[in-house]
Structures are given as C-alpha cells and as structure tokens.
Amino acid sequence: MKTIEHYIRDIQDFPKPGILFKDIAPLLQDPEAVELCLNALLDKIGDTKIDKVVGIESRGFFFGTLLAQKLGAGFVPVRKPGKLPFKTISESYALEYGTDTLEMHEDAIVKGERVLIHDDVLATGGTAEAVCKLVEKLEGNIVQCNFIMQLNFLNGKEKISGYDVKSVLEY
Ligand code: AMP
C-alpha cells in the first residue's frame, strides 16, 4: 500500500528559486490518498471536542472542510485581504521582504469555542502565528494547530510553541 508521502510531489524552485514546493495536488486527485491523509489528521486530534476548524487560504481549505465535517465542527476560512464580504478582523505578519495580511470574519468564532487551526504546510510559521492571533482576538481556545507537513529546517514550530502543534509528515 502507498504511504501519504508517496502522493506529495516535490517541485524545485517554485514559486521562487531555492524553494522546494511541496505539492499536494497528486494527493487530492486520489480519493484513497485523501481518506488516508484525513484519517491521519483525525488521529492527531483524537477524541478532543472541536467547535470550529479554521482553514488557511487556500490549501488549508481542502482538508479543513473535510476535518470540520468529520469532527461535527463549523468551518472558518482565513483569507487574503478584501476577499471576505462581511466585517473582518485582520492581522499582518512579516515576510522575507515586506508584510502580508490575513483576515477572518469577526463573527467566525464565539468566545471560548474550541478551535483547530489547519493548513497544508508549516514552513517558517509566520502564517500560522498570524492566524493564532486572529483566533485569540476573538477569544477562541486554540486546541491544536495541525498540518499535513512541517518543514523542520525552517523552525516554524517555534513561532507557535505555545500551542499543541501536530503534523502528519515531517521533513
Ligand atoms: P509559513 O508562513 O512560512 O509557515 O508558510 C506557510 C504557508 O505557505 C502555507 O500556507 C503553505 O501553504 C505555504 N508554503 C510555505 N512553504 C511551502 C512549501 N515549501 N511548499 C508548499 N507550500 C508552502
């Protein structure tokens, strides 16, 4: 039987020279692989109650919605600026050059709700850290940040070290 790792395609120098992009497209194309990955992510959560799954634009939406459905939780998209139609809260974070901003609807999480944050890849951790701040602004209780992959050489886990961080694959 193929492992989840088998379905991750490495693309050298995308989107910029020097980046090894971890492409989940082959995984998404195979329903058995999707089930394998979904179950592996669910294993990381166990029996813990989750009220909201927060998925990070855009590859965090695929498994984020599947996880929410399986966990009996609501799904919340975090998006790039100007994409969400209702009132939003926002958080900016540093990139290698410049800054980026992420937004969430202000009514997406109710104070005290138990939140799972999900994305495909944890790299430097800047994105996940900003999303944690958005959830904290709405006084959500972050139960876990989970990822399909974490790139250990970029130390992203350190940026969100105050939380339970789990990944299916580590590189
Ligand atoms: P970071 O803020 O550096 O942790 O970057 C995380 C975000 O960038 C996630 O939304 C990932 O989808 C994307 N990302 C960063 N590095 C990679 C990579 N090597 N392969 C695929 N996606 C990546």
- Taking the centre of ligand 1 as the mean of its atom positions, its distance from the CA of residue 44, in whole angstroms, is 20
Q: What is the pLDDT of residues 110-161, one digit of tens each?
A: 999 999 999 999 999 999 999 999 999 999 999 999 999 999 999 999 999 9
Cα–Cα distance list, 34 to 7, 28, 109 (Å): 10, 6, 27
Task: Identify the band that residue 95 occupies on the pLDDT scale cut at 50, 70 and 90.
Answer: confident
Could you give phi then psi for residue 36, rounded to 5 degrees?
A: -60, -50
- Taking the centre of ligand 1 as the mean of its atom positions, its distance from the CA of residue 125, in whole angstroms, is 8
Q: What is the model's pTM?
A: 0.97
CB-ligand 1 contact for 129 (6 Å cutoff): no
Which of 121, 126, 127, 129 is closest to 152 using CA atoms? 121
CATH number of 46-170: 3.40.50.2020
Atom number in ligand 1 closest to CA 59: 12
Ligand 1 atom 11 nearest Cα = 121
Distance CA 162, CA 147 (A): 16
Ligand 1 atom 3 nearest Cα = 124
Count, in order, helices (H) and strands (E) of the chain. Answer: 5, 9
User: Which tokens belong to 152?
Assistant: 């250990």
3-state SS, residue 137: helix
Domain boundaries, the chain: 46-170
- 137, 130 contact by CB (below 8 A): no
Total count of residues recorded for the chain: 171
CB-ligand 1 contact for 55 (6 Å cutoff): no
Atom number in ligand 1 closest to CA 159: 4
Q: What is the pLDDT of residues 19-31, one digit of tens each?
A: 999 999 999 999 9
DSSP state of 14: -
Q: What is the pLDDT of residues 31-90, one digit of tens each?
A: 999 999 999 999 999 999 999 999 999 999 999 999 999 999 999 999 999 999 999 999
**Is 9 part of the annotated catalytic residue set?**
no
**Is 59 part of the annotated catalytic residue set?**
yes
Which of 6, 1, 40 is closest to 26 using CA atoms? 6
Which of 93, 104, 170 is closest to 138 using CA atoms? 104
- Tell me the one-letter amino acid at 157: K
Residue whose structure tokens are 């939406």: 61
